[in-house]
């Protein structure tokens, strides 16, 4: 039985929002994970005897707070030194859930695409999301923000640091490019950003980030900028993510396994079940869909970032393989210019 060091539990297939680009598409349903399946999955990760990470996701995991608590208790019982993360739209956060985050030392990630008008357009329920962030702030719970970059919000990326600058507990922003799967594939509102639009949006975002950080005790970190800095300093990062390294495992509510959340419910990447598993690295090699990194690919040409490129999300390389331009390249090259790494 393969043992993951990065375990993702999709606690429920239900979600209270209907994002225009949701990659789960029609696979969202009301099923929730059985507690025995949670115990088996965490027990598997703990069987290595080494610390591991558990990411709690969905759907929207805060729809089932009792399962969040059950999973967190199990992790702390079996492996106190392991880490726990939660990705949420924040619309259902309350003081009780915030207390649970603090009690079990759960790292919180919030899905936020921009200021309220942008959030309302791409995800919906913007007032509830910002209320959830205020609750975390009042409970002194640190959090990060993940932004899905689309044509709709690329021009307003600079507003993210401006909006978040007033939250003392926010620590960083990560940019996830649109994946051509689920709602996006069905022609819903979510569309990829234009390369020039993304470049201009990032330049303005870096300027806004610099301005905001001059006024903060603890600066906001842009994940992609940090990745470039790490690579420039000689950081060893042979794979973009745990899935590309064959170390991650997603467990869906019915117990089916996949390499990562983006590949969930795609038969091509199914890794079997907990009762009948397949090797973790089988999902990495299927039809060449998973590449260890963009670095060294033939289309990298003479890019000045070849030696400092953090690489690209392997599932995105697969699902967006028809895209004429790799938008990840636009992100890294634009940000590298701000660091004077790309002449």
From 5, 3, 9, select the one nearest 251 (Cα to Cα): 9
pLDDT of residue 61: 97
Separation between Cα atoms, residue 84 and residue 60, nearest integer Å: 16
For 175, phi then psi, to 5°, come to: -105, 120
pLDDT greater than 90 at residue 82 = yes
Give, in degrees to the nearest 5, the angle at Cα 248 between 245 and 252: 145
326 band by pLDDT with thresholds 50, 70 and 90: confident
Q: What is the pLDDT of residues 84-100, one digit of tens each?
A: 999 999 999 999 999 99
Sheet holding 170-177, edge to edge: 221-222, 170-177, 143-149, 106-111, 83-88, 53-57, 6-10, 248-251, 257-258
Q: What is the pLDDT of residues 1-60, one digit of tens each?
A: 779 999 999 999 999 998 888 988 888 888 999 999 999 999 999 999 999 999 999 999
pTM for the whole thing?
0.91
The length of the chain, given as a count of residues? 343
Q: Would you call 24 helix, strand, or coil by DSSP?
A: coil
Please say whether the beta carbons of 230 and 181 come within 8 A: no
Q: What is the pLDDT of residues 93-124, one digit of tens each?
A: 999 999 999 999 999 999 999 999 999 999 99
Average pLDDT over residues 183-204: 86
Average pLDDT over the chain reads: 88
Q: Retrieve residue 56's tokens.
A: 């709690």
Separation between Cα atoms, residue 79 and residue 293, nearest integer Å: 31
Separation between Cα atoms, residue 299 and residue 287, nearest integer Å: 19
CATH class of the region 1-343 = alpha beta
pLDDT of residue 286: 41
pLDDT greater than 90 at residue 302 = no
DSSP H helices, 173-260, are 195-213, 223-232
287 band by pLDDT with thresholds 50, 70 and 90: very low
Separation between Cα atoms, residue 26 and residue 63, nearest integer Å: 18
Q: What is the pLDDT of residues 224-275, one digit of tens each?
A: 998 888 776 565 555 778 887 778 999 999 999 999 999 999 988 898 999 8
Q: Where are the domains of the chain?
A: 1-343
């Amino acid at each position: 039985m393969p043992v993951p060091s990065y375990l993702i539990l999709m606690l429920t297939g239900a979600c209270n929002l209907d994002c225009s680009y949701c990659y789960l598409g029609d696979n969202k349903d009301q099923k929730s994970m059985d507690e025995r399946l949670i115990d088996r999955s965490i027990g598997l990760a703990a069987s290595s005897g080494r610390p591991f990470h558990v990411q709690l996701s969905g759907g929207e995991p805060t729809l089932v707070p009792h399962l969040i608590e059950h999973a967190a208790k199990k992790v702390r019982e079996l492996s106190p030194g392991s880490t726990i993360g939660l990705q949420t739209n924040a619309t259902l956060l309350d003081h009780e859930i915030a207390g649970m985050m603090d009690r079990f030392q759960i790292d919180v990630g919030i899905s936020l695409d921009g200021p309220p008008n942008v959030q309302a357009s791409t995800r919906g329920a913007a007032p509830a999301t910002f209320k959830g962030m205020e609750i975390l702030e009042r409970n002194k719970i640190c959090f990060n923000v993940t932004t899905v970059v689309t044509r709709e919000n690329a021009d307003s990326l600079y507003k993210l640091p401006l909006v978040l600058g007033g939250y003392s507990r926010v620590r960083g922003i990560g940019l996830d490019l649109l994946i051509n799967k689920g709602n996006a594939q069905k022609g819903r509102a979510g569309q990829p950003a234009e390369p020039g639009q993304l470049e201009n949006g990032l330049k303005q975002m870096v300027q806004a980030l610099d301005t905001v950080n001059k006024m903060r005790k603890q600066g906001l970190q842009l994940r992609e900028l940090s990745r470039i800095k790490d690579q420039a300093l000689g950081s060893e990062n042979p794979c973009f993510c745990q899935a590309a390294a064959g170390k991650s495992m997603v467990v869906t509510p019915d117990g089916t396994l996949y390499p990562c959340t983006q590949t969930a419910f795609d038969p091509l990447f199914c890794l079997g079940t907990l009762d009948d598993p397949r090797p973790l690295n089988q999902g990495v090699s299927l039809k060449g869909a998973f590449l260890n990194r963009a670095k060294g690919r033939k289309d990298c040409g003479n890019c000045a970032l070849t030696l400092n490129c953090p690489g690209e999300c392997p599932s995105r390389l697969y699902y967006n393989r028809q895209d004429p331009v790799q938008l990840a390249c636009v992100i890294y090259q634009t940000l590298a210019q701000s660091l004077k790494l790309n002449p």
